[in-house]
Amino acid sequence: MQIFGVDIGGSGIKGAPVDLERGDLAQERHKVLTPQPATPDGVADGVREVVRHFDWSGPVGVTFPGVVTGGTTIRTAANVDKEWIGVDAAALLSERLDGLPVTVLNDADAAGVAEMHGGAGRGRTGTVIMLTFGTGIGSALFTDGLLVPNTELGHLELHGHDAEKRASTKAKEDHDLSWEHWARRVQKYLTHVEMLFSPELFIIGGGISRKAHKFLPLMEGVRAEMIPAELRNNAGIVGAAMAASAAGAAPVLVVEEATEGWAEPEGLA
């Protein structure tokens, strides 16, 4: 069973069909640049370009970098145009995709769901926090496998600023920070999040997770286990497809042992 997943980011819009039984992309993803400014119409055009690249004609799951309620409505838009606030994104994107059914959810929530069901968090209980480092910092909070949606912990205050302004991948690039300097910033952020939520595990995601060996060993004073995401920058696409499935588009493979495969994502239906 395949469903299409699209991941809208501050710099790029990427997507691909997802094989739900394998929990991975069925084809190589296609990516276009996020328009600047990232208005609803401009981003919707980008999503349409990605979906049409595959001649897709079925359900579509879409991530959004902000708070999404009810699988449809945008409530915040930190790294895209403020015109998004209040928009029924599911209706807008469905119209732009000629009526295809669309489900929308927070981007980090999507990545977290994918990692918890088929990646680094598979079979883990207790409090787990997935953090995605990119244009901003996204977060997904789980307690015994259940998602607490729309946490947006990248906007916690750190030294008088949104944490993502100091510790995101974009901050590293904009200020040409060394791995050591950036790791210290991330460490301070993680210890702050740890103080608030006491997680057993941090899953570090986003594109930079493929270079986790360059910064995770540099961080000290974080008591929780820290591991890189397994699905890396594809996690959002996979999680978006899972969300579309959970919304009723198609069944997700349910397995007897949560540690051996994919299970129906809870908290998204």
Can you tell me the mean pLDDT for 45-64?
97
Q: pLDDT value at position 159?
A: 84
Can you tell me the mean pLDDT for 45-67?
97
Give the pLDDT band of residue 250 (cuts 50, 70, 90): very low
Q: pLDDT value at position 263?
A: 44
Q: Which has the closest alpha carbon to 167: 150, 191, 149?
A: 191
Can you tell me the mean pLDDT for 43-71?
97
207: DSSP letter: G
Taking CA atoms, 20 is separated from 24, 195, 242, 264, in Å, by 7, 36, 7, 10
What is the token pair recorded at 24?
């991975």
Q: When comparing pLDDT for 252 and 114, which is higher?
A: 114
**Beta strand pairing call for 225-228 and 201-205:** parallel
57: DSSP letter: -
By the 8 A CB rule, do 68 and 25 touch? no
- Rounded to 5°, the CA angle 15-73-82 comes to 85
Q: Is the pLDDT of residue 184 over 80?
A: yes
Q: pLDDT value at position 232?
A: 85
Amino acid at residue number 159: H
Q: How far apart are CA 142 and CA 116, in angstroms?
A: 9
Q: pLDDT value at position 260?
A: 41
Q: pLDDT value at position 265?
A: 45
Q: How far apart are CA 183 and CA 83, in angstroms?
A: 34
In tens, the pLDDT along 221-249 reads: 999 999 999 998 899 999 999 999 998 74
In tens, the pLDDT along 188-227 reads: 999 999 999 999 999 999 989 999 999 999 999 999 999 9
Collect all residues with Cβ–Cβ distance below 8 Å to 59 and sequence separation of at least 6. Answer: 3, 4, 100, 101, 102, 103, 244, 245, 249, 250
Give the pLDDT band of residue 155 (cuts 50, 70, 90): very high
